[in-house]
Amino acid sequence: MLKPTSQAKFIFATLAALTLPMAAHADGERIAVFTKNQTNPFFQYVRLGAESAASQMNAKIQHYVPTKPDSIPEQISQVEDVVVKRPDAVVFIPVDNKAMVSSVQKMNAAGIPVVNVTDRIESGQIVSFVGADDFSLGLETGRFMLKAMGGKGNVVIIEGVKAALSSTNRVRGFRKALEEFPQVKVLASQPGNNQRLQALQVMDNLLQTHPQIDGVFGTNDAMATGVIEALDAANRKALVVGINGTKEAVDAVKAGKMLATGDYGSFLQGCFGTMSAIRYLRKMPVEANVVFPASLITKANIAAFDVPAEKLVCPKWESLIATK
Amino acid sequence: MNDTQVARPLMRLITHVPGVTWVLLMLILVFSSLSGNFLRAGNLANIGEQSVVLLLLALPMTFVIMTEGIDMSMGAVLSLTSVVLASTLVATGSIALALSAAVLIGLAFGVFNGGLASWLKLPPFIVTLGTMGVAQGLALVATDGDSIIVGTQLTRLYTTQFLFLSLPMWLAILSYGAFHVLLQRTRFGTYVCAIGGNRDALTLAGVSAGTYHVAVYALSGAMAGMAALVLTARLSAGHPSAGIGMEFDAIAATIVGGTSFERGKGWLLGTLLGVVAVGVLRNGLNLLNVQSAVQVSCIGLLVIAALLFDGLKDRA
Amino acid sequence: MREPPLLELRGISKTFPGVKALDDVSFSVYPGEVHMLLGENGAGKSTLMKVLCGAYKADLGQFFHHGKQVQIDSTAAARELGIAVIFQEFSLVPYLNVAQNIFLGREPSGYLPGTIDLKRMHVQARRILDQLGLSLDTHTLVHSLGVAQQQMVEIAKALSQKARILVMDEPTAALSDRECERLFSTIRQLQADGVAIIYISHRMAEVFSMGDRITVLRDGRRMASLMTGDATPDQLVQLMVGRSVDMSYARNFCAEPGELLLDVRNMSASNGVHGVSLKVRVGEIVGLAGLVGSGRTEVARAIFGADRVTAGEIWVCATRFAGGPEQAREAGMALIPEGRKTQGVALTRTVSENLGLASLPKTFPNHLFDPRKARQIAQALIQRLRIATPSPERNVQVLSGGNQQKVVIGKWLQAGSRLFIFDEPTRGVDVGAKAEIFALLDRLVAQGASVLMISSELSEIVHVCDRSYVMKDGTIVGHLQRAELTEERVMHLAVGQGSI
Amino acid sequence: MSYDANLMKARLGNLMGPAFYRVLAAAALCVALALVNDAFLSTNNLLNVLRQASLLFLLASGLTLVILTGGLDLSVGANVGLSACVAGTVMQSTGSIGLGIVSGLLCGTAVGLVNAALVTVLRLPPFIATYGMLWALHGVTYAYMAGATVHGFPPAFRTLGSGYLLGVPVPIYLMTILLGVGTFLAQRTTFGQEIYAIGTNPEVARLSGVPVRRRLFFAYAASGVMAGLASLVYLARLNSAEGDIGEGLTLPAIAAVLVGGASLFGGSGTLAGTLIGALILTLVLNGMNLLTIHANWQPLVTGVVLIAAVLIDNIASRRTESRA
The model's pLDDT over A103-129, given as tens digits with 9 standing for 90+, comes to 899 899 999 999 999 888 888 899 999
Higher per-residue confidence, A211 vs C249: A211
Question: Which residues are bridge partners to A92 per DSSP?
Answer: A34, A116
Domain count, chain D: 1
**Inter-chain contact C79–B185, Cβ cutoff 8 Å?**
no
Contact: chain B with chain D (3+ CB pairs below 8 Å): yes
pLDDT of residue A311 exceeding 80: no
Cα separation, C429 vs D88, whole angstroms: 64
Q: Are A285 and A256 contained in the same domain?
A: no
Cα separation, A321 vs C244, whole angstroms: 110
Of D124, D297, D304, which has the smallest distance from its Cβ to B304's Cβ?
D124
pLDDT category at B18 given cuts 50, 70, 90 is: low
Compute the average pLDDT of residues B256-269.
82
pLDDT category at A177 given cuts 50, 70, 90 is: very high
pLDDT of residue C21 exceeding 90: no
Q: Are A215 and A176 contained in the same domain?
A: yes
Domains recognised in chain C with CATH numbers: 7-241 (3.40.50.300), 260-495 (3.40.50.300)
Of B3, B187, B198, which has the smallest distance from its Cβ to C144's Cβ?
B3
Selected residues 168-227 of chain D with any CB under 8 Å from a CB in chain C: 187-194, 196-197, 200-201, 203-211
pLDDT of residue C466 exceeding 60: yes
Q: CA-CA distances (angstroms) from residue C103 to B263, B271, C154, C340?
A: 19, 27, 11, 29
pLDDT of residue D1: 38
When the pLDDT of each residue in chain D is averaged and rounded to a whole number, the result is 85
**Inter-chain contact B133–D142, Cβ cutoff 8 Å?**
no
Look at residue A300 and tell me if it is in a domain: no
pLDDT of residue D198: 93
pLDDT of residue C431 exceeding 90: no
The model's pLDDT over D197-211, given as tens digits with 9 standing for 90+, comes to 999 999 999 999 899
Of B140, B261, B314, which has the smallest distance from its Cβ to D299's Cβ?
B140
Mean pLDDT check: name the lowest of B7-11, B262-266, C431-435.
Answer: B7-11
Contact D125/B at CB under 8 A:
yes
**Inter-chain contact B283–A1, Cβ cutoff 8 Å?**
no
Helix A101-109 crosses helix A72-85 at what angle (to 10 degrees)? 0
Look at residue A30 and tell me if it is in a domain: yes
pLDDT category at D265 given cuts 50, 70, 90 is: confident
Q: Which residue of B has its CA nearest to D72?
A: B125
Half-sphere exposure for A49 (CA within 13 Å, toward CB): 30
Cβ-based contacts of B292 with chain D (< 8 Å): 142
Among A70-84, B76-90, B273-287, C453-467, the range of highest mean pLDDT: B76-90
Q: Are A141 and A256 contained in the same domain?
A: yes
pLDDT category at B5 given cuts 50, 70, 90 is: very low
pLDDT of residue C41: 64
**Inter-chain contact B303–D306, Cβ cutoff 8 Å?**
no
pLDDT of residue C225 exceeding 70: yes
DSSP string, C397-447: GGS-HHHHHHHHHHHHHHTT-SEEEEESTTTT--HHHHHHHHHHHHHHHHT
Tallying the residues shown for chain C, one arrives at 500
pLDDT of residue A18: 39
Residues 6+ apart with CB under 8 A from D11: C371
Compute the average pLDDT of residues D273-289.
88
Q: CA-CA distances (angstroms) from residue C23 to A213, C85, C220, C236, C483?
A: 74, 22, 5, 20, 48
Q: CA-CA distances (angstroms) from residue D173 to C327, D47, D50, D308?
A: 41, 11, 10, 30
DSSP run (H or E) holding C334: strand C333-336
Under a CB-based contact definition with an 8 Å cutoff, are residues C210 and C35 in contact? Answer: no
Contact D299/A at CB under 8 A:
no
pLDDT category at A26 given cuts 50, 70, 90 is: low
pLDDT of residue A215: 93
Which chains are adjacent to chain B, needing at least 3 Cβ pairs under 8 Å?
A: A, C, D
Contact: chain B with chain A (3+ CB pairs below 8 Å): yes
pLDDT category at D100 given cuts 50, 70, 90 is: very high
**Inter-chain contact D237–A229, Cβ cutoff 8 Å?**
yes
Pair type for strands C319-321 and C309-316: antiparallel
Selected residues 275-294 of chain D with any CB under 8 Å from a CB in chain A: 285-286, 289-290, 292
The model's pLDDT over A60-106, given as tens digits with 9 standing for 90+, comes to 999 998 888 888 888 988 898 888 888 999 999 998 888 888 889 98
pLDDT of residue B126: 87
pLDDT of residue B3: 40
Walk across the sheet containing C419-423 and list its strands.
C333-336, C419-423, C450-454, C285-290, C467-472, C475-480
**Inter-chain contact D204–C346, Cβ cutoff 8 Å?**
yes
**Inter-chain contact B240–A96, Cβ cutoff 8 Å?**
no
Selected residues 39-68 of chain C with any CB under 8 Å from a CB in chain B: 53, 55
Look at residue B286 and tell me if it is in a domain: no
CA A109: distance to chain centroid?
Answer: 27
Of D37, D243, D295, which has the smallest distance from its Cβ to A159's Cβ?
D295
pLDDT category at A50 given cuts 50, 70, 90 is: very high
pLDDT of residue B97: 93
pLDDT of residue B78: 95
Under a CB-based contact definition with an 8 Å cutoff, are residues C155 and C91 in contact? Answer: no
pLDDT of residue C427 exceeding 80: no
Which chains are adjacent to chain D, needing at least 3 Cβ pairs under 8 Å?
A: A, B, C
Task: Please give the residue range of the domain that contains residue B65.
Answer: 52-250+261-266
Q: Is C467 left (phi over 0), alpha (psi -120 to 50) or beta?
A: beta
pLDDT of residue C279 exceeding 60: yes
Cα separation, C370 vs C368, whole angstroms: 6
Half-sphere exposure for C237 (CA within 13 Å, toward CB): 18
Neighbours of D321 (CB within 10 A): 9
Cα separation, A77 vs B43, whole angstroms: 11
Look at residue D124 and tell me if it is in a domain: yes
Among the listed residues C88, C46, C428, C401, the one whose alpha carbon sits nearest the alpha carbon of residue C220: C46
Q: How far is B158 from chain C (nearest CA, A)?
A: 31
Of D190, D192, D207, which has the smallest distance from its Cβ to C306's Cβ?
D207
pLDDT of residue A179: 92
Cβ-based contacts of D162 with chain A (< 8 Å): 229, 232-233
Look at residue B39 and tell me if it is in a domain: no
Domain of A124, CATH number, reads: 3.40.50.2300
The model's pLDDT over A212-271, given as tens digits with 9 standing for 90+, comes to 999 999 998 889 999 998 998 888 999 999 998 888 888 899 988 999 998 888 888 999
Higher per-residue confidence, B72 vs C493: B72
Compute the average pLDDT of residues A48-68.
89
Contact D295/A at CB under 8 A:
yes
Pair type for strands C419-423 and C450-454: parallel
pLDDT of residue B274 exceeding 80: yes
SS3 A193: coil
Q: Are A146 and A255 contained in the same domain?
A: yes
The model's pLDDT over A35-47, given as tens digits with 9 standing for 90+, comes to 988 878 888 889 9
Among the listed residues A295, A150, A135, A149, the one whose alpha carbon sits nearest the alpha carbon of residue A219: A135
Share of chain D above pLDDT 70, in %: 91
Under a CB-based contact definition with an 8 Å cutoff, are residues D260 and D275 in contact? Answer: yes
**Inter-chain contact C105–B202, Cβ cutoff 8 Å?**
yes
Tallying the residues shown for chain A, one arrives at 324
Question: Which residues are bridge partners to C65 per DSSP?
Answer: C7, C68
| Angle, vertex CA C180, rays to CA C175 and CA C181, nearest 5 | 155
pLDDT category at C318 given cuts 50, 70, 90 is: confident
Q: CA-CA distances (angstroms) from residue B141 to B145, B231, C242, D297?
A: 8, 20, 71, 7
Task: Please give the residue range of the domain that contains residue A114.
Answer: 25-132+266-293
Look at residue B220 and tell me if it is in a domain: yes
pLDDT of residue D3: 44
Look at residue A317 and tell me if it is in a domain: no
The model's pLDDT over B49-94, given as tens digits with 9 standing for 90+, comes to 889 999 999 999 999 999 988 999 999 999 999 999 999 999 998 8
Pair type for strands A289-292 and A128-132: parallel
Q: Which residue of A has its CA nearest to D151?
A: A248
Q: Which of B68, B303, B309 is most worth mutating to test chain D (most D CB atoms within 10 A of its CB)?
A: B303
Look at residue A299 and tell me if it is in a domain: no
Cβ-based contacts of B83 with chain D (< 8 Å): none
Q: How far is D101 from chain B (nearest CA, A)?
A: 26
Q: Are A228 and A147 contained in the same domain?
A: yes
Which chains are adjacent to chain A, needing at least 3 Cβ pairs under 8 Å?
A: B, D
Domain count, chain A: 2
pLDDT of residue A273: 92
Q: How far is A256 from chain D (nearest CA, A)?
A: 14
Look at residue A98 and tell me if it is in a domain: yes
| Angle, vertex CA C111, rays to CA C109 and CA C116, nearest 5 | 35
Compute the average pLDDT of residues C32-48.
81
Under a CB-based contact definition with an 8 Å cutoff, are residues B108 and B81 in contact? Answer: no
Q: Are A77 and A156 contained in the same domain?
A: no
Contact B16/C at CB under 8 A:
no
pLDDT of residue C178: 72
Look at residue B147 and tell me if it is in a domain: yes
Neighbours of D129 (CB within 10 A): 30
Pair type for strands C60-65 and C165-169: unpaired
Domain count, chain B: 1
Q: Which of D40, D44, D47, D242 is most worth mutating to test chain A (most A CB atoms within 10 A of its CB)?
A: D242
Look at residue B208 and tell me if it is in a domain: yes
Q: Are A126 and A275 contained in the same domain?
A: yes
Contact A162/D at CB under 8 A:
yes
Among the listed residues C408, C364, C362, the one whose alpha carbon sits nearest the alpha carbon of residue C385: C408
pLDDT of residue D19 exceeding 60: no
Q: CA-CA distances (angstroms) from residue A180 to A173, A294, D92?
A: 12, 18, 43
Higher per-residue confidence, D53 vs C258: D53
| Strand extents, DSSP E, B182-241 | 237-238
pLDDT category at B101 given cuts 50, 70, 90 is: very high
Alpha helices in chain D, H assignment, sequence order: 3-16, 20-36, 43-68, 76-94, 97-116, 126-145, 155-162, 170-188, 190-200, 202-207, 212-238, 250-259, 271-290, 298-323
Cα separation, A234 vs A242, whole angstroms: 20
Cα separation, A205 vs D289, whole angstroms: 6
Share of chain B above pLDDT 90, in %: 34
Q: For D49-70, b where at least 16 C-beta lie within 10 A, e where not — what string?
A: bbbbbbbbbbbbbbbbbbbbbb
pLDDT of residue C500: 37
Under a CB-based contact definition with an 8 Å cutoff, are residues B276 and B176 in contact? Answer: no
Selected residues 222-251 of chain D with any CB under 8 Å from a CB in chain A: 234, 237-240, 242-245, 247-248
Cβ-based contacts of D191 with chain C (< 8 Å): 367
Pair type for strands B165-166 and A128-132: unpaired
Rounded to a whole number of angstroms, the CA Rg of chain B reads 20
Look at residue B36 and tell me if it is in a domain: no
| Angle, vertex CA A243, rays to CA A241 and CA A246, nearest 5 | 110
Cβ-based contacts of A38 with chain D (< 8 Å): 142, 146-147, 243
Amino acid residing at C340: R
DSSP run (H or E) holding A48: helix A41-56
Selected residues 280-319 of chain C with any CB under 8 Å from a CB in chain B: 293
Task: Please give the residue range of the domain that contains residue D134.
Answer: 20-32+40-315
pTM (two decimals): 0.84
Domain of D258, CATH number, reads: 1.10.3470
Under a CB-based contact definition with an 8 Å cutoff, are residues C346 and C357 in contact? Answer: yes
Look at residue B74 and tell me if it is in a domain: yes
Q: CA-CA distances (angstroms) from residue A50 to A60, A64, A113?
A: 10, 13, 16
Compute the average pLDDT of residues A298-313.
81
pLDDT of residue C243: 63
Contact B197/C at CB under 8 A:
yes
pLDDT of residue D147: 77
Q: Which residue of D has its CA nearest to C345?
A: D204
**Inter-chain contact B137–D301, Cβ cutoff 8 Å?**
yes
DSSP string, A75-96: HHHHHHHHHHH--SEEEE--SS
Residues 6+ apart with CB under 8 A from B312: B19
**Inter-chain contact B3–C140, Cβ cutoff 8 Å?**
yes
Look at residue D2 and tell me if it is in a domain: no
Under a CB-based contact definition with an 8 Å cutoff, are residues A40 and A219 in contact? Answer: no
pLDDT of residue B20 exceeding 50: yes
Under a CB-based contact definition with an 8 Å cutoff, are residues B259 and C88 in contact? Answer: no
- DSSP code at position A120: P
**Inter-chain contact C114–B187, Cβ cutoff 8 Å?**
yes
pLDDT of residue B290: 80
**Inter-chain contact A14–B49, Cβ cutoff 8 Å?**
no
Q: Are A156 and A256 contained in the same domain?
A: yes
Under a CB-based contact definition with an 8 Å cutoff, are residues D33 and D39 in contact? Answer: no
